[in-house]
Amino acid sequence: MEKNTTESIVAEIKALLEDLRSRGISEEKIEDLLSERKAGRAILDREGLSIPEYDGVRIRLTPMERTLYILIMRYPQGVPVEEIWRYYDELCDIYGKQTVYDDKEMILAAVEALCDDYRTTLYTNVSRIRKKITDKLGKKAAEPYLISRGSDNMYRIPIDRTLVSGL
């Protein structure tokens, strides 16, 4: 049996992709097939999020972004968007460990802004985290690491918690 050369394998893949296109398969579905990767380990530290399986990519997160990410990672069942204030003490504790500031009043003010009734700071931080992760990994690969809001109005991060260290 003759071994396929790299060129013949590439040509075969191109032919198969062209066949899929001719059958009406969308470019998005083809892209999903080509970029399919399983979630790898994630490491949270004082700089942000590292994902070794993606060439050690580092995603820098601000102290508040790390605080929010850690909180949501701790609760696989989800964190209710409308009741983020219920986690106030835990957020203060996490943020106190993430920031370089020792000023308790500054820590309390930052967490209060995250928990305020308008939730502008909360939504802004979630949006920034999503953008940073997506920019580094691409849309499909980023999905397991992203904070998402379910129809039940709960924030979740879908990655298996056993793959994450540094919580």
For the chain, give the mean pLDDT: 88
CB atoms within 10 A of CB 140: 16
Q: Which pLDDT value is given to residue 37?
A: 59
Is 151:143 a contact under the CB 8 Å cutoff? no
Which range among 76-80, 95-99, 117-121 shows the weakest confidence by mean pLDDT?
A: 117-121
In angstroms, the Cα distances linking 66 to 16, 23, 69 are 43, 45, 5
Q: Which pLDDT value is given to residue 1?
A: 41
pTM, two decimals, is 0.78
**pLDDT of 4 strictly over 80:** no
Q: Which pLDDT value is given to residue 20?
A: 85
What is the SS3 assignment for 75? coil
Is 166:41 a contact under the CB 8 Å cutoff? no
Which range among 5-14, 30-39, 111-120 shows the weakest confidence by mean pLDDT?
A: 30-39
